[in-house]
Amino acid sequence: MQQEGDYITEEKKHLLLAELKDLKGPKRKEILQGLAYAKTLGDLSENAEYHQAREDQGKLESRILKIEQILQSSQIVKGGGGDIVEIGSQVIVQKKGTKEEINYIIVGSEEADMAKGKISNRSPFGAALFGKKKGDNVSFKTPNGLVNYKIINVS
């Protein structure tokens, strides 16, 4: 698996498809109704409701295009499970000089969420881990300097 590609999990694909369905259906209809109502309020050049509805419509259409692009350009991956760190791998690491073990899941950039322990394959840390295996040492640069970790387990 190449590190630089765009990846999403099957779960993320289903979430994006559900969001797309909602945006193209009820949300789009709601915005069109808001536009129609705003047009009835009079002069469009000074009509705040109309301008807000147009802005909302632009944001909606932009999000629809973004989701369609993600779905079209991303490769769907299943969870890791191998000995080598790749997209979907669960990695347990230990920062040098500490005993605390931290658990991360390597995901594509669309799913990254540090609060949930999901790091992007394109982040400095994810890139350092990618392709490594249990027992390897990795280091990467941060604004505060070089950070070193040891990979405790990969699954």
Give the model's pLDDT for residue 82.
77
Domain boundary among 76, 96, 118: 76
Number of H helices, E strands in the chain: 4, 7
Residue scoring higher pLDDT (43 or 63): 63
**Does position 102 have pLDDT exceeding 80, yes or no?**
yes
Please indicate, yes or no, whether residues 18 and 63 belong to a single structural domain of this protein.
Answer: yes
Residue 2 lies in a domain: no
The band of 134, judged by pLDDT with boundaries at 50, 70 and 90, is very high
Please indicate, yes or no, whether residues 89 and 70 belong to a single structural domain of this protein.
Answer: no
Look over the chain and give the mean of its residue pLDDT values, rounded to a whole number. Answer: 89
Please indicate, yes or no, whether residues 20 and 70 belong to a single structural domain of this protein.
Answer: yes
For residue 50, the enclosing domain spans 7-76
Q: What's 117's domain CATH number?
A: 3.10.50.30
Domain boundary among 27, 48, 76: 76
**For the chain, percent of residues with pLDDT exceeding 90:** 59
Tell me phi and psi for residue 149, to 5 degrees: -135, 155
Q: What's 20's domain CATH number?
A: 1.10.287.180
Give the model's pLDDT for residue 2.
57
Give the model's pLDDT for residue 83.
87
Residue 1 lies in a domain: no
Pairing outcome for strands 90-95 and 145-154: antiparallel
Q: What's the rounded Cα separation, in Å, for the pair 138 and 128?
A: 6
Number of domains in the chain: 2
Please indicate, yes or no, whether residues 88 and 104 belong to a single structural domain of this protein.
Answer: yes
Q: What's the rounded Cα separation, in Å, for the pair 25 and 53?
A: 16
Please indicate, yes or no, whether residues 18 and 67 belong to a single structural domain of this protein.
Answer: yes
Give the model's pLDDT for residue 43.
79
Please indicate, yes or no, whether residues 49 and 109 belong to a single structural domain of this protein.
Answer: no
Residue 60 lies in a domain: yes
Tell me phi and psi for residue 147, to 5 degrees: -120, 140
The band of 97, judged by pLDDT with boundaries at 50, 70 and 90, is confident
**Does position 3 have pLDDT exceeding 60, yes or no?**
no
Please indicate, yes or no, whether residues 94 and 47 belong to a single structural domain of this protein.
Answer: no
Give the model's pLDDT for residue 109.
87
The band of 149, judged by pLDDT with boundaries at 50, 70 and 90, is very high
